Amino acid sequence: MFHMQRTFLPLCLLAVGVLATSGTPPNGRPIGTPPPFLVPSTPWADSVFSTLSLDERIAQLMMVAAYSNKDARHETEIEQLVRERNIGGLIFFQGGPARQAKLTNRYQAAAKTPLLLGMDLEWGLAMRLDSTIRFPRQMTLGALQDDRKVEAMGEEIARQMKRLGIHVSFSPVVDVNNNPANPVINDRSFGEDRENVARKGIAYMRGLQNGGVIATAKHFPGHGDVDSDSHLTLPMIAHSRTHLDSLELYPFQRLVDEGLAAVMVAHLEVPALDSTKGQPSTLSHPIVSDLLAREIGFRGLVFTDALNMKGVANADKPGAIELRALLAGNDVLLFPQDPVRAIERIRQAVDSNLIDRALIDHKCLKVLRAKEWAGLARMEPVKTEGLHADLNTMQGKLLRRQLYAGAITVLNDHKEILPFREVGTTRIASLVIGDTLNNAFQLGLQRYADVKTFRCDKAIKRDSLTALLRKLEDFDRVIVSVHNTTWRVNKDFGIPETAMDIVREIASRKPTVFALFANPYRLTRAYGAHYLASVITAYEETEETQDLVSQVIFGGLGANGRLPITASSFFAAGDGRDLRPIGRFGYTFPESIGIQSKDLARIDEIAASGIKAQAYPGCEVLVAVDGQVMFNKAYGHSTYEKNRRVRTDDLYDLASITKVASTTLALMKLVDEGKIDLTQPLGHYLPEIEGEHTARSHGPA
């Protein structure tokens, strides 16, 4: 086995040498923008390289798994590996940001050579860490029409990563998902259209790399058309080379041409690329060296996928797997099962001339140059003070809200009932399936109209359904939503067929809007869904998506998302209708109009002081700018007896507040225009008022 691989070695070394120094790979294909860390740099990497022993140079090619939610024993083991073996880096998994920051400082302090730290952060730090902002999954982003928002997300994630001392994001996923049953990629992909995947992938990559973070496109050569999970087994991609060139490989080529820094190789069996039966692509010289490096022209860092995954772990013993991965052409060995044994086995291979030492040196120097570009030559400890606030800014939350809003997709509107217009005369009901009454969605709907709310479980008996249908007979329109959904394909995305039966029964009787807070692949087997009056998909279920969809239904917010996948013959990739807002209030953050939320804190103080002084028993404050409500809060009680608290859905008699409201607004405008000075008495501007007051004050008692 190893003898055969040795025969490929001179070619591998030749290719690496040419790619590192030339603008054209051996097959003659011009190379685009080089990876950012290959640009001219300071002598730091060369200086560090000269201090490393052979074992340490091999260790620089290891990235070991670390956690911030495990015990002291785990932390001690990692520190020993760092201190005694001088491993190259760590991939952090589950935990919390404050705990991880402390461990990062501890491990970096123990390291002879600064550690390259990476994480799986496809939807931001929240993919691995609690108490952080969770950005949309990539399928949601695939629905966006504005790729600049994806780039902005990449920049914000990079900012957060740098704040936490992380240098490598194992994102974006540029697999083209063309299998609805894919159990491992699915909504982690931008979709099924190769151009959309490539554009979004480039935008995400640019955002990360503009922010000084190494972006890693995955999972090469393409993990989108599998029906098994490489964490558990070795999936097979049975397509022809022509098919792979036209679809799976296309986004990778595009990102490489645009200056991609890193690629992660998947654990896949791809006979069209390597005919060796049972050969994982991670261990395949034809796939990693010949295809990725020579044909595609990639010169950046090549990471293996985690080497503890069953898709590769069953291929050989620990140590032998890592050796084979290096021989295949990978640079960084991710999550080795036994890093000490792997280092020793690779050194033995060098000592026995199975591997040329020049190959180890080349890969080690490449890793060090990547570290230099990522800022490790000027590394400072992570500051823990203010960390939570810095990772959870309102600007970051506003960007997330804009991403979710831009993705909302109206799939059909057969009766053109969206957005709802005649709400005063239309009887509207909302049914939530699988959630409690007055959830975030129903509360959002009730801001606009007198929406009657109902609920039921995802499976109900026939007599209960009949009773529910009878209650809905009095309404003109019904809004149905299913909740507590999931991303899991084998769980029907949290929407069992019994729940869809309820939706169909209602839709057969009333004009129905179906709000889908789940993966749109659920529509693949949603028989009759195309007969629904309207279908709106938000791709994910969060309080924010529920709030935003409620605004779309009533015209406070527009929608222009496009379906990134084909769900059925009725719902194809690219489908979506544009809806414009119709002048009703939308709801947003103060930051969307340039105001800081913290600057509105005084409103609470003013409202409380008025209640304390008994100027009023309670009140509601609503601030809107250009039709967007940025602040809406209720205070106190309806009466001084304090029997009922003021609510934001209370109705007020406008006639009783017109005098105060109109006068105040007019006065504010006059002050803005400099026509009135509030320090002057009223009589300064209305002398007749002062005269009347004087006459009355001297008149008879």
Q: List residues with catalytic annotation.
A: 231, 305
Q: Return the residue matching tokens 């629904």.
A: 532
Phi, psi at 337, each rounded to 5°: -65, -35
Q: Is 502 helix (H, G, I), strand (E, B) or coil?
A: helix
If we measure between CA atoms, which residue out of 513, 514, 588, 582 comes closest to residue 554?
A: 582
Q: Return the residue matching tokens 């917010």.
A: 557
Got the DSSP string for 587-624? Answer: E--GGGGT--GGGGHHHHHHHHHHHHTTS-SEEEEEEE
Phi, psi at 630, each rounded to 5°: -110, -10
577 Cβ partners below 8 Å, 6+ apart?
410, 411, 412, 413, 559
Amino acid of residue 680? Q
What the block records as the tokens of 693 is 């007051």
388 Cβ partners below 8 Å, 6+ apart?
97, 98, 131
What the block records as the tokens of 677 is 């000075």
CA distance 146 to 423: 32
Q: Is 628 helix (H, G, I), strand (E, B) or coil?
A: strand
CA distance 623 to 533: 35
How deeply is 175 buried, as exposed, middle or buried, from its count of CB atoms within 10 A (0-12, 13-18, 19+)? Answer: buried
Asked if residue 286 lies in contact with residue 245, where contact means CB atoms within 8 angstroms, the answer is no
Angle between helix axes 357-373 and 9-21 (nearest 10 degrees) is: 30
Please give, one letter per residue, the 3-state secondary structure of 33-69: CCCHHHCCCCCHHHHHHHCCCHHHHHHCCEEEEECCC
Calculate ∠ Cα 252-253-259, nearest 5°.
90
If we measure between CA atoms, which residue out of 375, 320, 339, 360 comes closest to residue 117?
A: 375
If we measure between CA atoms, which residue out of 100, 74, 248 comes closest to residue 163?
A: 100
Quote the strand ranges of 241-392, DSSP E: 262-265, 301-304, 333-334
What the block records as the tokens of 639 is 């009466």
Q: Return the residue matching tokens 């959630």.
A: 435
Asked if residue 89 lies in contact with residue 116, where contact means CB atoms within 8 angstroms, the answer is yes
Got the DSSP string for 385-434? Answer: TTHHHHHS-HHHHHHHHHHHHHH-EEEEETT--PSP--TTT--EEEEEES
Q: CA of 593: how far to CAs of 393, 631, 648, in Å?
A: 16, 12, 22
